[in-house]
Amino acid sequence: MTHEQNTNEQLSLLISQWLSQGKELPPHLKPALERLSKEHCSGIAIKQLDSPMMKQFRTAKEEVPDALLFFRMGDFYELFGLDAIIASDICGLTLTSRDKSSEFPVPMAGVPVVGYKNALKKCVVAGFKVAVCDQIEDPRQAKGIVKREITRIATPAVPGDLEEEESPNERSFGCYLASVIECKKQYTLSYIDVSTGEFRITYELNESLLLQELSTISPKELLAPHNIHQKLSSLLKSIQQKNIIAINSIENWILKSELACKELFCEFFKEKDFHSFGLTHIPQSLPAICAILQYLKSTQKNVLKNIQFITKYELSTHLIIDEATRRHLDFFYTASGEKKGSLFHFLNKCITATGSRKLLHRLKYPYKNAEEVNISLHKISEVVNCTGLIPELVELLRNTGDIDRLLSRAAQRNLDARAMAWLRQTLGTLPLFQNVILNWKQAPLLNELLKDNETILALKPLFELLEKSLAEDPSPIIGKGGIIFKEGYSNELDEAISLSTNFNQMLSDLEKKERELSQIHTLKIGYTGAFGYYFEISKGKIAQAPKHFIRKQTLTNCERFVTPELKELEEKALAASDNRIILEKELLEGLRIKILDFSNYLCQASCLIAEIDLTVTFANLALQYNWCKPTLVNENLTQLTDSTHPILAHLSTNSEPFIANNITLGIEKSDENKNPLIHLITGPNMAGKSTIMRQVALTQVLCQMGSFVPAKTAKIGMVDRIFTRIGSADNALKNQSTFMVEMLETAHMLRFASPQSLLLLDEIGRGTSTFDGLSLAWAILENLHDEVKARTLFSTHYHELQEVISQKSNIQPMHMQVSENIIINDNIEKRAIEFTRKYNSGSAGQSYGIHVAELAGIPEKIIQRAEELLDTLENKADSKKMNFTLQPPAPIMDSQNRDDVGKVEQKAFINKENNNEKSNEIKLLDIISVTDPDSLSPREALDFLYSLKKFNKNELGSELLLKALGYQKSSYKSQMSAKKTKETVLGSDQTLF
């Protein structure tokens, strides 16, 4: 690749990133963009980069061609070329230019040094990498042009101190950098959150599981070999993510050199043997991990020492919940996209940020092992039963800081004195946790957490160091005069502080001392810009001047002197402020390095605090909402007494309380009257069918998180996956209609569900015509019964599906009870219904859709007309009495067999007609019902009408039926042919909208 081609590619990458996500080029920036030079990656002509300062810029820009470069010039950070154009749009900066008369004007934009971080943050949030080229020497002492170099690089996944500060309860769901490597059509995925040091790896993922994991962690950046970029881009398009995921290439040497990877690995970890991490059996684990390590090393300009562990996990050991299910159950966001009202927001009563992150992880990856669930439940029981323990633990938790983030800031050289004071307070609280918990002998599992006090003892020297060095409330900023260190910690610093803060008093003391020694009462100290501080003696007292006084200046009425002591004091005072800043920086750096030396124990302490916080949070939820401890059973069973929805029950009012229900789903081995695995739920709109389904799923999730559940009693069997098909939504970006999305989610469910799964299907088939939807729902329900055999809640408005129950023993009809009343108002009878929210056995008779429409505010005129039409349609249906009969699935036939069967069907139809003693009216309805008018030509339709007339006069018999059936067969064949043609025309990635 030539230099020009490389330059064009670098410019194109930045522009395409800027204009991604459908963003249009702002018209006012188009002229500046068109006049950029293509000689350099900055968009500036080479000859315009010849000045000493621009040569520094050129060197820095070539180091980070894929980043927006903030270049320090005095009190501003300037951006040049394409960087300036992009930053002016993202940050709202004024775009100017230099060399306006030249062929290639140089675009410029700048931000003040005092507020530049806000601009950096906007660029990072927009998905850009940003680099800061700073002045690395004091301009006052520089000889020639000030030296500059890149001092920091911030990226969407590694923003450093640009990460938005939020309260612990509202923190973002992680800021991940991920790497993906393919091996024999399986993927290894590794990812890290630099802000907390969390580093995890999983493996043997197919495309479906990889997509699910990427959706779960939602990385800000993704590293991958160049040859799978396009495949990953296609996969990521199917995820409706809130953030942009940038894909970067893994350097070739990482993929090819195992030795170089091991050397890089050893730079980051104290444990020098990769085998000791237990990751060697994972395919491509070393390059996947080292891709991340190399990216961190290049962007952070150093090796981060807060990364202590790499946790491996397999999805098969956790309850798998796909993205659609999380969305349907409002795990992290409500349907309106808000965090408030989501399951995580409701559960997150954690005191600490570490506890919140542990809760988030538990929600993303619930347990599948019953033993792990029981351990968590027993801990919660201990805390619930120990009256008075919770308030003590809560008070201690409030005195702890976020150790993970403090450690990360230390690794990124961004830890100030106040943060160190938080760490000191946290370390001082750890022994108190031990004292409190060990005093409660009724909590053996909690005692086990703190029985081994190795971590607390190991951190004691660090606590003592911080206690000895830092002031009670240290200033967070160096150089502003605030006290950071305790007096006596550093004699040199104490002297510098004394000089900088007590200089005037020291001058006064020196003046008083010399006045007493010389007995010159008019002696005084003054200052002049010419030679600094001096002693002044009046003319009449000159003879009494001490011998160590050195004459400096003679005036009319007095003379000025200096002494060695005065000059030394002056020199120390002038340098004291600078020395103080230097000393404080050095001492803080020493503490920072010392903190990193304790990284391993600090990570253990953070895990301990998180475990205590999460246990207390679950106990609080159980006590506050009267939840019960579930009993785990080794059966395909969910048995809940007085079950409620965890969130909606809390939001209910006295006027409309939440109604608890008993729900038994599945097979109990000890029960002779086995409860069916499938509930076929019918009932009106607004009656609570979806709520019942959601609360069963959420109860299962809470149980497998190791939490108490919202019920009076609960017997629950573990599940391996939860699938949901609830609600309606299209995906316009992928050209998928609401019905297509519904079918895709249902297909995914039928493909991956096992007998140990939990399935929720809400109104399957409602997005298409009545008979198409009914047929699909019927066939899916049969498949769930015969093939999948999993616990299933299947809600529907197709009352015809009750026919399935008569032939399938493992399906139980259920309904949401409704109370119907007649209200007389102004001598007008009006039907009113009341939703009791009771979940009872049996099927519902109707859906009350018109009543719900009336509640929604549909005009009275339309409601009346709808009721009239409903009566008419129901009367026709009663006269027609269409009968749905369950038949076994037909075998798949070729066209020859299908034609033969068609002939047999016609013959059977004629025999049926001859033997059936129906009236002409019923026969006529039968004929019309089997005829497809859309498949008739105008001529055929006219002939059909004449034939009907003859039939009505008994002039025509079974011939008409044969003709009607012929039309139906012909229509079926033409429809199938058209469908095949359309499937052939559509591409593999296209879908019907």
Is residue 43 left, alpha or beta, with left meaning phi > 0 and alpha meaning psi from -120 to 50?
left
pLDDT band at 78 (very low <50, low <70, confident <90, very high): very high
Give the residue from 258, 230, 233, 260 showing the smallest Cα distance to 244.
233
- Residue 311 has phi, psi (to 5 degrees) of -95, 125
Task: Find tokens 């219904």 and name the residue.
Answer: 833
162-184 average pLDDT score: 71
Q: Give the least confident one: 144-148, 467-471, 860-864.
A: 860-864
Whether 114 has a pLDDT exceeding 50, the answer reads: yes
Name the pLDDT band for 100 (thresholds 50, 70, 90): confident
**What is the reported pLDDT for 163?**
66
Contacts of 638 (CB under 8 A, 6+ apart): 663, 664, 665, 666, 696, 699, 700, 715, 716, 717, 758, 791
Please give the average per-residue pLDDT across 700-715, as a whole number: 96
CA angle, 313 then 364 then 447, to 5°: 75
3-state secondary structure of 827: coil
Q: Which residues pair with 182 in a beta bridge?
A: 187
Per-residue pLDDT reduced to its tens digit, 614-623: 999 999 999 9
Residue pair 930/964 in contact (Cβ under 8 Å)? The answer is yes
**Whole-angstrom Cα distance, residue 512 to residue 503?**
14
Is 254:290 a contact under the CB 8 Å cutoff? yes
Mean pLDDT is lowest, of 19-28, 547-556, 753-762, for 19-28
What are the structural domains, with CATH classification, of the chain? 5-154 (3.40.1170.10), 176-316 (3.30.420.110), 355-487+601-614 (1.10.1420.10), 491-584 (1.10.1420.10), 631-729+736-818+836-843 (3.40.50.300)
Q: Give the span between the Cα atoms of 174 and 220, in whole angstroms.
A: 9
Q: CA–CA separation, 166 vs 171, rounded Å?
A: 5
Q: Which residues contact 424 (CB under 8 A, 6 or more apart)?
A: 463, 466, 467, 470
What residues pair up with 550 in beta bridges, in sequence order? 562
Closest CA to 222 of 237, 244, 252, 198: 244
Query: What whole-number distance in Å separates Cα of residue 792 and Cα of residue 781?
Result: 10
Between CA 241 and CA 218 the distance in angstroms is 7
Range of lowest pLDDT (66-75, 156-165, 883-892): 883-892
- Tokens describing residue 123: 């660029």
Confidence tier at 736 by pLDDT (50, 70, 90): low
Query: How far apart are alpha carbons 515 and 523 in whole angstroms?
Result: 6
State the average pLDDT over residues 19-23: 69
Instruction: Choose the most confident range, by mean pLDDT, from 478-487, 608-617, 802-811.
Output: 608-617
How many other CB atoms are there within 10 angstroms of residue 785's CB atom?
A: 22
Q: Helix 417-438 vs helix 444-451: angle between axes, to the nearest 10 degrees?
A: 130
Mean pLDDT for 89-93 is 91
* pLDDT over threshold 80, residue 671: no
Q: Percent of the chain scored above 90 by pLDDT?
A: 33
What confidence tier does 837 reach under pLDDT thresholds 50, 70, 90? confident
Using the predicted structure, report yes or no on whether residue 17 has a pLDDT greater than 70. Answer: yes
Q: Give dist(CA 491, CA 494) in Å, integer.
A: 5
Q: Each residue of 721-735: pLDDT tens digit?
A: 999 988 666 554 455
Dist CA 70 CA 77 (whole Å): 5
Which residues, listed in sequence order, are joined to residue 986 by a DSSP beta bridge? none
| H or E segment to which residue 344 belongs | helix 343-347
pLDDT for the residue numbered 916: 44
- Which contacts qualify for 734-742: CB closer than 8 Å, 24 or more apart? 734/237, 734/238, 734/991, 735/990, 735/991, 735/993, 736/991, 736/993, 737/767, 737/991, 737/992, 737/993, 738/767, 739/767, 739/768, 740/991, 740/992, 740/993, 742/767
DSSP SS3 for 66: coil
| Inter-residue contact 764 to 746 (CB < 8 Å) | yes
pLDDT in tens, 901-923: 444 444 444 444 444 444 556 66
The pLDDT-based confidence of 177 (bands split at 50, 70, 90) is very high
Nearest by Cα to 721 from 766, 689, 753, 680? 753
Model confidence at 420, in pLDDT bands (50, 70, 90)?
very high
Note the pLDDT tens digit of each residue in 324-339.
899 889 999 888 888 8
Are 829 and 823 contacting, i.e. CB atoms less than 8 angstroms apart? yes
State yes or no: pLDDT of 13 exceeds 70.
Answer: yes
Judge whether residue 27 has pLDDT over 80. Answer: yes
- For residue 914, give Cα distances in angstroms to 371, 907, 909, 917, 961: 68, 11, 9, 8, 11
Mean pLDDT of 857-872: 81
Q: 388 in helix, strand or coil?
A: coil
Between CA 295 and CA 281 the distance in angstroms is 24
3 state SS for 108-169: EEEEEHHHHHHHHHHHHHCCCEEEEEEECCCCCCCCCCCCEEEEEEECCCCCHHHCCCCCHH
Residue 969 has pLDDT above 50, yes or no: no
Residue 717's DSSP bridge partners are 633
Per-residue pLDDT tens over the stretch 782-830 = 889 889 999 999 988 877 788 888 788 888 888 888 877 766 666 666 6
Question: 282-317, pLDDT tens digit by residue?
Answer: 888 999 999 999 998 888 877 777 788 899 999 889
pLDDT of res. 953: 61
- 445 confidence band (pLDDT: 50, 70, 90): confident
Nearest Cα neighbor of 614 from 330, 360, 345, 310 is 360
Look over the chain and give the mean of its residue pLDDT values, rounded to a whole number.
82
Does 107 score more than 80 pLDDT?
yes
Q: What pLDDT is recorded for position 934?
A: 63
pLDDT score for 670: 54
Tell me the pLDDT band of 547, cut-offs 50, 70 and 90: confident
Q: Provide, rounded to the nearest whole percent, the portion of the chain with pLDDT above 70.
A: 83
Residue 459 has pLDDT above 50, yes or no: yes
Question: Using the 8-state DSSP alphabet, how is residue 81 labeled?
Answer: T
